[in-house]
């Protein structure tokens, strides 16, 4: 019986027995095996350490009811920008942006799509803000460059300026801090090593220009699961690397644009031309 360990952001893990062996056929995904055994284990733990050799991956977890040792054929790290799995591999260390997100009451309607916003007056530490409608609330996030001082004060400035432009925005009901990868080179994107695969931000799969990562996480998560389900444990990474080569190419393309977008000249020009033109030029970035 093959065993695979999926370790997620926040310490969630799932130990799977028979995993999906899926095939794509006319837009439908067909389950060829069960997704889990009746005795599959899941929970929330901290990753203490892991090691791998020719026989498998050996993982030590720290759980609320005591330590847990897991032996598996493959380990998939899907544990976010501060991935403990990636650190354990000792490859491609990256720094992170400082990210704050507020949930704001919505009184009225706004356009139902992701808006990425740059504001000159916030300061050089400010990368961009985003606005995402979520029913009767709006998520307003700000992304600041590493080592930004007093980001909470700058987030208040961002929300105040957005309220002036969008009077539908009401009071803030919740604020949370997070981290986003500071991708600056194609080498920051690492699919894994040996029998360990990295998905989503854990592997550096995200847009370096817009910060969008959900689509990358969904695609790489699916491809990582497919790779371990349909290949031998020692060839799963090679299959995963091949399956994600288009995403690597997309990230490299965006990285070529990033210095222009972040330069003073690029920001000045973007602030002077009509928004419709900016939308067309930056579409796909």
The percentage of the chain sitting over the pLDDT mark of 70, rounded to a whole number, equals: 77
Is 74 a member of any domain?
A: yes
Same domain, 109 and 247: no
Mean pLDDT of 139-165: 92
Mean pLDDT of 224-245: 94
Mean pLDDT of 229-249: 95
Cα–Cα distance for residue pair 142/160, rounded to 1 Å: 13
Q: 16: Cβ–Cβ under 8 A, 6 or more apart, which residues?
A: 3, 4, 5, 6, 35, 36, 37, 40
Number of domains in the chain: 2
Is 169 a member of any domain?
A: yes
Which range among 23-32, 36-45, 191-200 has the greatest average pLDDT? 191-200
Same domain, 155 and 21: no
Q: Among 166, 169, 139, 144, which residue's Cα sits nearest to residue 154?
A: 144
Mean pLDDT of 88-104: 88
Is 236 a member of any domain?
A: yes
Same domain, 34 and 168: no
Q: Is the predicted pLDDT of residue 41 greater than 70, yes or no?
A: no
Same domain, 70 and 34: yes
Contact 221, 228 (CB under 8 A): no
CA-to-CA separations, 119 to 136, 155, 170, 187, 224, in angstroms, rounded: 25, 12, 20, 30, 38
Kindly report, residue by residue over 157-183, the tens digit of the pLDDT: 999 999 998 899 999 999 999 888 888
Same domain, 45 and 154: no
Same domain, 87 and 191: yes
Going by pLDDT thresholds of 50, 70 and 90, the confidence category of residue 91 is confident
Same domain, 154 and 227: no
| Residue 53 C-alpha from the chain's centroid | 28
Domain that holds residue 120: 96-182
Contact 45, 53 (CB under 8 A): no
Here the CATH number for the domain that contains residue 15 is 3.50.50
From 76-90, 117-131, 133-147, the region with the lowest mean pLDDT = 117-131
The last residue of a domain, from among 123, 152, 182 = 182
Task: Supply the pTM of this predicted model.
Answer: 0.79
Is 273 a member of any domain?
A: no
Same domain, 17 and 157: no
Contact 59, 70 (CB under 8 A): yes
Sheet arrangement for strand 12-16 = 66-72, 56-63, 41-53, 12-16, 4-8, 74-78, 196-198, 192-193
Q: How many residues does the chain have?
A: 285
Here the CATH number for the domain that contains residue 147 is 3.30.9.10
Give the pLDDT score at 27: 37
Same domain, 54 and 101: no
Give the pLDDT score at 144: 92
DSSP string, 243-272: HTHHHHHHHHHHHHHHHHHHSHHHHHHHHH
């Amino acid at each position: 019986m093959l065993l695979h360990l999926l370790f997620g952001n926040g310490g969630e893990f799932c130990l799977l027995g028979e995993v999906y062996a899926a095939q794509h056929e006319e837009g439908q995904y067909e389950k060829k095996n069960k997704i889990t055994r009746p005795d599959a284990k899941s929970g929330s733990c901290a990753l203490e350490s892991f090691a791998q050799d020719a026989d498998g991956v050996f993982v030590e977890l720290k759980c609320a009811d005591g330590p847990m040792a897991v032996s598996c054929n493959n380990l998939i790290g899907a544990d976010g920008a501060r991935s403990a799995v990636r650190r354990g591999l000792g490859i491609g260390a990256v720094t992170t942006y400082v990210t704050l997100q507020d949930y704001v009451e919505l009184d009225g309607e706004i356009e139902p799509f992701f808006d990425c916003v740059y504001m000159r007056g916030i300061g050089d530490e400010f990368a961009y803000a985003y606005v995402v409608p979520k029913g009767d609330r709006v998520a307003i996030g700000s992304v600041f460059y590493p080592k930004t001082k007093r980001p909470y004060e700058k987030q208040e400035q961002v929300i105040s300026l957005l309220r002036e432009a969008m009077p539908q925005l009401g009071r803030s009901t919740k604020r949370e801090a997070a981290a986003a990868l500071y991708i600056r080179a194609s080498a920051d994107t690492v699919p894994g090593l040996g029998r360990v695969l990295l998905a989503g931000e854990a592997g550096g799969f995200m847009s370096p220009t817009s910060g969008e990562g959900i689509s990358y996480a969904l695609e790489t998560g699916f491809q990582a699961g497919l790779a371990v389900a349909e290949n031998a444990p020692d060839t799963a990474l090679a299959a995963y690397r091949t399956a994600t080569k288009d995403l690597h190419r997309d990230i490299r393309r965006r990285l070529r644009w990033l210095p222009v977008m972040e330069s003073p000249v690029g920001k000045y020009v973007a602030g002077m031309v009509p928004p419709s033109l900016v939308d067309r030029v930056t579409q796909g970035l």
